[in-house]
């Protein structure tokens, strides 16, 4: 989800909007199709000429996990949206299996009907379920857990509690990494950070997304180690060639938070 606005809601000179479900709305403008859930906030966006690419800056930053896990065996995602990150991982990381947990069946149908989300196969499984409950029953299950879950423009309460972050840590394998999309303008932002640091003491880094105010949080089950941190610039250069994203910028902006 991005804090960028621009949803027309109806036909207008700015673009075209239509409803795909009870609370699911779509819009198109300048060759970009966007998903909105109950508000004008852009939940997901896809450039029609490049449906497998990442359009929104925050989704590109969430792929910063590749600096630490360039080829994860399993990625788990909570929150599907239009499936931008799911499609990117599916097409660009062919050795990775992806499990997506989405609470709204209409969102899943919309992603498949309007955003070219691939059908389930041996590398992709999409489940309609509540994310916190799902990961609570799947300990030690994934290398990377990505969380992008909002409700009416705010963090879904069930996805930002202390219990949820504790469960998220338990769902990770030994060298696992939690990746969370937060809005810096959310009044609960500092409390969410405090809870994440409680669950992942001394192992949290943040990446601010310009210009929209998203903050991507990376929480490590265990510190990757000095050698990994020192090798990030070199890793970034290789990943830019492999994945076509600005990883060197990510490294420069990545902020390791000191233990409180």
Q: Which two tokens stand for residue 227?
A: 């050698």
Q: Say if strands 154-155 and 150-151 run parallel, antiparallel, or are unpaired.
A: antiparallel
Q: Render each residue's pLDDT in the chain as its tens digit; 260 residues.
A: 654 333 223 333 336 776 666 679 999 999 999 999 877 788 899 999 999 999 999 999 999 999 999 999 999 999 999 999 999 999 999 999 999 999 999 999 999 999 999 999 999 999 999 999 999 999 999 999 999 988 777 788 999 999 999 999 999 999 999 999 999 989 999 999 999 999 999 999 999 998 778 999 999 999 999 999 999 999 999 999 999 999 999 999 999 998 76
* Residue 204: strand pairing partners: 219
| Residue written as token pair 């338990």 | 170
3-state secondary structure of 157: helix
**Maximum pairwise Cα distance, the chain:** 54
H or E element at residue 201: none
CB distance 197 to 226 below 8 Å: no
Inter-axis angle of helices 162-171 and 189-199, nearest 10:
40
Q: Which of 56, 42, 68, 63 is nearest to 172 (CA)?
A: 68
Q: Is the pTM of this model over 0.85?
A: yes
Distance CA(208)–CA(56), nearest Å, equals: 14
Domain extent listing, the chain: 57-256
Bond from prior residue into 42 cis (ω within 30 degrees of 0): no
Distance CA(56)–CA(60), nearest Å, equals: 7
Q: Tell me, which fold does domain 57-256 have in CATH?
A: Rossmann fold (3.40.50)
User: Any idea which residues carry the catalytic annotation?
Assistant: 148
| Residue written as token pair 């990775």 | 96
């Amino acid at each position: 989800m991005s804090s960028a606005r621009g949803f027309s809601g109806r036909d207008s000179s700015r673009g075209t909007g239509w409803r795909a479900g009870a609370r699911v709305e779509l819009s198109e403008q300048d060759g970009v199709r966007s998903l909105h859930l109950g508000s004008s906030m852009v939940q997901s966006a896809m450039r029609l000429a490049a449906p497998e690419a990442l359009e929104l800056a925050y989704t590109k930053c969430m792929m910063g996990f590749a600096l630490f896990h360039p080829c994860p065996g399993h990625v788990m995602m909570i929150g599907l949206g239009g499936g931008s990150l799911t499609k990117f991982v599916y097409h660009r990381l062919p050795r990775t299996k992806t499990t997506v947990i989405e609470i709204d069946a209409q969102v899943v149908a919309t992603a498949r009907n309007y955003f070219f989300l691939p059908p389930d196969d041996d590398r992709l499984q999409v489940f309609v379920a509540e994310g916190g409950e799902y990961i609570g029953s799947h300990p030690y299950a994934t290398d990377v857990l990505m969380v992008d879950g909002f409700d009416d423009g705010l963090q879904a309460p069930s996805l930002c509690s202390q219990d949820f972050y504790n469960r998220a840590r338990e769902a990770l394998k030994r060298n696992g990494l939690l990746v969370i999309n937060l809005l810096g303008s959310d009044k609960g932002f500092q409390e969410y950070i405090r809870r994440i640091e409680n669950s992942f003491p001394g192992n949290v880094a943040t990446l601010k997304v310009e210009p929209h105010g998203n903050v991507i949080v990376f929480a490590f089950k265990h510190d990757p180690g000095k050698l990994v941190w020192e090798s990030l610039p070199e890793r970034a250069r290789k990943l830019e060639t492999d994945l076509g994203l600005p990883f060197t910028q990510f490294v420069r902006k990545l902020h390791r938070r000191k233990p409180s």
